[in-house]
Amino acid sequence: MPRWSISDHAKVLGRFWDTKATLGSPPYTSSDIPALLAIADRAGALLKTYLLFAPQPGTLPDTAANTSKYQDEVSRAAAYLLKAHAAELEAMSDFVRTLPVAEMTAPRRAGLQQARLGINEMMTSVTLMVRSPGLNPANRDILLSALADNAAVMAAATPRADRAALIAQTEAILPALTGSEREKALAFKSTFEHGECGVLCALEAN
């Protein structure tokens, strides 16, 4: 398994997780969706490689142990995947805004909602990772920074009911946080409490 603590491995992983080189810069539009989906798929596969690692073939992975053992890699992989998902949501929002109303079919709406649900589940997973026993401060900060930095785009795509669940999960981790870590968690929470409801968020109402 490639390890962040080994310099040669870190160089390769660093290129994979280089957001500027691989994701470019916003704004992301509907034409970016195919490339962003492919990037997110690869990023998710790499994250699962660490989370679902099993030392013996045929044995079940211990995801909690893997999250701890490979926390340097898992935290960076999860943070990168959140950024890729935020780019996807921005591109998907552009798609919805520019799509003629008559072309928003039920299957298309369901597909967009399913994609949004998967991204919401990823946000939930990251907030749970923040609570992982043994997570060192540097890696916890990577995860909290990713949540705070991408909160505006993600909140704008998240229905109010789903926001409430993420807010509650964030409140649950606040007692264990201090200083800048707490500030980032509060920023994430505040954005989900007060952020605008964009076109993806509003899909539920149509």
Residue 84 neighbours by CB under 8 Å, 6+ apart: 23, 36, 39, 40, 43
Model confidence over 131-153: pLDDT tens digits? Answer: 888 899 999 999 999 999 999 99
Output the pLDDT for position 132. 87
pTM: 0.95
Output the pLDDT for position 52. 96
* 116 vs 118: CA distance, rounded Å: 5
Output the pLDDT for position 133. 81
Q: Dump the DSSP string for 65-103.
A: HHHHHTHHHHHHHHHHHHHHHHHHHHHHHHHHHHS-GGG
Domain ranges of the chain: 7-205
Model confidence over 14-55: pLDDT tens digits? Answer: 999 999 999 999 999 999 999 999 999 999 999 999 999 998
Asked if 84 contacts 41 with a C-beta cutoff of 8 angstroms, the reply is no
* 5 vs 191: CA distance, rounded Å: 34
Model confidence over 98-133: pLDDT tens digits? Answer: 999 999 999 999 999 999 999 999 999 999 999 888
